[in-house]
Amino acid sequence: MTRAVTKPVARPVTGMLWIALAATLMSACGSGGGSAADDPTAGHEPGRAAQNAQPADVLAGPPAPGNPLAGKPFFVDSSGPAVVQVAQWEAQRKADADQIRKIADRPVALWIGGGSGAVDAKVDAIIGRAAAKGQLPILVAYNIPHRDCGNFSAGGAASADEYRAWIRSFAAGIKGRPAVVILEPDAVPHAVEGCADGPDRLALLADAVGVLKAAGSASVYIDAGHSHWITDVKRLASALQKAGVASADGFALNVSNFIVTSENLSYGNRVSDALGGKAHFVIDTSRNGAGPLPGTGDVNGGPRWCNPPGRLLGQAPTADTGQQRLDALLWIKRPGESDGACRPGEPEAGQWWPDYALDLAKRS
């Protein structure tokens, strides 16, 4: 995949700095306005990482009318790897444990792939834990055939029929309870680039949207890459239309990447304009607090988007964005989980990496 994302805890912007940021955003946007085995989450778009690091930016304000995520606290999983790490370090490494709490205490998405076990039971268990806490879970459905085009997060269903059965089992686990579903990171941008498992990938996604929305309680956002990937927004919008975005709640940007929020906001509004001006979207801010790693070329023999050093957590998840079409900032990539074994000694995609997590947290 071309993903790589974690979210930093952004510092508040006040005074003249906030005024300057607001002006920048207005100018940019114009008038528009699980387990590692099951859930590998690698970095997106090899060879296309953004080049210029930018300071963290913060969005704040009331949610727009009609935002389906407004007023709903997001699910904080008390059994995630960051929570386990805090417990392990609490006695002997308390200062480090306190740093990891910056991740453990935040709501992050739970990735659900193929793997072993019935997917409906997995979805049911997650939503059940969230419902018991009165919180809204963020789920990532990640099992498209020829997933990640065979890169670091390779896998997925073996056929279109297997995927159709899988997504129906996924939807069955929702059982009428509220949930957010981020649908198939990378699948649409890869289809635009011509890397897909046959000509029916977009039709599979459109079917998945219909199945998930028929559950009656899920907010569904189709992954659309990020602003440095598919730069032709008309081509991207056309693919999203074929993937069923009109029946979804919108699209998702920056999953597992590092592009700063203001740039994704501008890009998202452009994509929405190309879709007729009404499409909403969410942005992954999990690791975009310092922007992408600057420069060009590989780093120590691996792509720049994969486990880059010196990154920061981004703005905490919120639906209070103050933007008409931006429904939420979410931590979709799970901070501290590897983007892939891009260099010797690096964990496989989706595996918890304590040292990387600690570096993210300490810098944020």
Q: How far apart are CA 135 and CA 75, in angstroms?
A: 5
Nearest to 311 by CA among 2, 96, 4, 1: 4
Known catalytic residue at 148: yes
Give the C-alpha separation, 82 to 161, whole Å: 36
Cβ–Cβ < 8 Å for 50, 231:
no
Q: Whose structure tokens read 């686990």?
A: 173
DSSP notation for 23-84: HHHHHHHTT----TTT----EESTT-------------BPPPTT-TTTT-PBP--TTSHHHH
Cα separation, 177 vs 124, whole angstroms: 9
**Catalytic residue, candidates 38, 39, 148, 327:** 148
What are φ and ψ of residue 74, in 5° steps?
-80, 150
User: What number of other Cβ atoms are within 10 A of residue 339's Cβ?
Assistant: 35
Asked whether the beta carbons of 333 and 287 are under 8 A apart, the reply is: yes
Specify whether the CB–CB gap between 329 and 265 falls below 8 A. no
User: Closest Cα to residue 239, out of 284, 288, 274?
Assistant: 274
Q: Are 299 and 308 in contact (CB under 8 A)?
A: yes
Per the structure block, which two tokens stand in for 320? 């209070």
Active centre residues (catalytic): 148
